[in-house]
């Protein structure tokens, strides 16, 4: 019999570790380069769909350079909001790459929010205009917050944030919470998605992901020079608007192909590049101020496992978390 321990990190423990958004962006950039060099292993995420637009996905990844192997088991239930529950929940399990034994289980909600925002920021570094002044947020939930936080790391000339949510109180709460975080920004709550898209240099749509969406963003709202990050897939963007994109990017081509087989992304432009190609310089990003650009990032297990291993190592150093006995025979 071998005595081993498993480190459990709650959401509060994960936050207590103190990893910053700047660090997460740097971690993901390194991983995207490794991905572009075929130095990682990450199959398209399989999933089950217990009801309606609800999903539970298994997201495994192996990153030899970081000595990181693991999986995220994550769910998204749009109807949870009616029950006072979060849309996203999940766990990340890390394994020792040398033995395969599990070494950690940690809450995935905080990591999912932060790494999703970080992916948007990395895309914006290469696809948004450096002189962008206005960020538009449609969907004032968790992702609306984390995407703004991440974008403010890489976009240095932002002056204002335009917000919209179908729930007016949610949009008002967003501004109440985010303005103290970014006191130099002007926050403007508007009544329609059109006002957000038409007046923004960077647009983030962060509604629930729907297999059969009813998109509302029209082509004539999408002005030249805009960068868009549909965190909610194509739930908000009409095909006619997406067709205007000069450079349509994603975080992983295989995942897009997998989702198309499941019935998502029925009408999207041809993929110009993935984030690995942009970060590594294999393909240029924005090349002029008039280009309309878009990055639909599906969320990679690589992002979760790479962020998770840094959090795990730092938690061990700081003595954060609960060590659970694990009897191995």
Q: Which residues, in sequence order, are bridge partners of residue 323?
A: 7
> How far lies 17's CA from each of 11, 74, 115, 282, 314, in Å?
10, 21, 15, 34, 7
Tokens representing 92? 């990340």
35, 45, 72, 238: which is the annotated catalytic residue? Answer: 72
Tokens representing 193? 């998605």
Q: Tell me, yes or no, if 125 is annotated catalytic.
A: no
Q: For residues 100 and 134, what is the distance between their CA atoms, to the nearest angstrom?
A: 47
Tokens representing 25? 């962006």
Q: For residues 92 and 14, what is the distance between their CA atoms, to the nearest angstrom?
A: 11
Q: For residues 244 and 235, what is the distance between their CA atoms, to the nearest angstrom?
A: 17
Sheet holding 227-230, edge to edge: 186-189, 160-164, 134-138, 202-205, 227-230, 293-296, 247-250, 271-274
Q: For residues 127 and 293, what is the distance between their CA atoms, to the nearest angstrom?
A: 6
Which residues of 165-287 form beta strands (DSSP E)?
Answer: 186-189, 202-205, 227-230, 247-250, 271-274
- Reported as type and span, the H/E element at residue 103 is strand 102-107
Whole-angstrom distance between the N-terminal and C-terminal Cα of the chain? 5
Share of the chain residues as helix, strand and coil, in percent rounded to the nearest 5 = 40, 25, 35
**Sole residue written with tokens 């709650």:** 10
User: Which residue numbers are catalytic?
Assistant: 72
């Amino acid at each position: 019999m071998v005595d081993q321990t498993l480190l459990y990190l709650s959401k509060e423990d994960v936050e207590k570790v103190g990893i910053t958004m700047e660090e997460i962006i740097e971690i993901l950039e390194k991983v995207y380069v490794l991905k572009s060099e075929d130095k990682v292993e990450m199959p398209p995420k399989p999933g089950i769909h217990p009801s309606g637009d609800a999903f539970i996905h298994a997201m495994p990844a192996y990153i030899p350079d970081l000595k990181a192997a693991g999986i995220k088991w994550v769910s998204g239930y749009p109807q949870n909001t009616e029950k006072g529950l979060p849309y996203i929940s999940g766990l990340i399990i890390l394994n020792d790459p040398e033995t395969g034994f599990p070494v950690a289980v940690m809450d995935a909600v905080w990591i999912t929010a932060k790494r999703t925002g970080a992916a948007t920021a990395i895309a914006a570094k290469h696809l948004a205009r450096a002189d962008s002044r206005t960020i538009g947020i449609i969907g004032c939930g968790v992702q609306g917050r984390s995407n703004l936080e991440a974008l403010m790391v890489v976009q240095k000339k932002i002056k204002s944030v335009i917000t919209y949510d179908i729930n007016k109180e949610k949009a008002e709460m967003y501004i109440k919470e985010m303005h103290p975080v970014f006191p130099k920004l002007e926050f403007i709550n508007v009544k329609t998605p059109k006002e957000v898209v038409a007046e923004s240099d960077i647009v983030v749509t962060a509604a629930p992901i729907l297999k059969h969406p009813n998109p509302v963003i029209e082509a004539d709202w999408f002005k030249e020079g805009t960068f868009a990050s549909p965190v909610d897939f194509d739930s908000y963007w009409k095909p006619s608007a997406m067709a205007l994109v000069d450079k349509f990017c994603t975080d992983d081509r295989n995942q897009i192909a997998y989702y198309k087989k499941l019935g998502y992304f029925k009408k999207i432009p041809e993929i110009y590049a993935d984030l690995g190609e942009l970060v590594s310089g294999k393909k240029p990003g924005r090349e002029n101020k008039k280009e309309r650009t878009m990055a639909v990032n599906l969320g990679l297990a690589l992002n979760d496992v790479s962020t998770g291993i840094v959090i795990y190592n730092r938690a061990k150093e700081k003595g954060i978390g609960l060590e659970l006995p694990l009897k191995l025979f």
